[in-house]
Amino acid sequence: MIGTMCVKSTARSAMERGYRVTLVKDATTPDNGPDSYEQMVQRYALISHNVVNTDELLCPRHPL
């Protein structure tokens, strides 16, 4: 829970400052199981421009 709270707080702050934010959904996970993971991904979509997985981030053809 603490890790995802830090990610959300940092992403929100960056968006407020005008940065284009991309969050990597498989780089952090909540401790509360699969339902919490889906909720986390849904929240990430509200506070970032892009939500991708690690493969998408590392693929040079993926437009962020």
Residue 48 — pLDDT band, cuts 50, 70, 90?
very high
What does pLDDT average to over the chain? 85
DSSP at 48: -
> In the numeric block, which tokens belong to residue 32?
């509360």
Q: Are 28 and 1 in contact (CB under 8 A)?
A: no
CA end-to-end distance (rounded Å), the chain: 27
Global confidence as pTM: 0.77
Burial of 11 (0-12, 13-18, 19+ CB in 10 A): buried
The more confidently predicted of residues 23 and 29 is 23
List the domain boundaries for the chain.
2-58
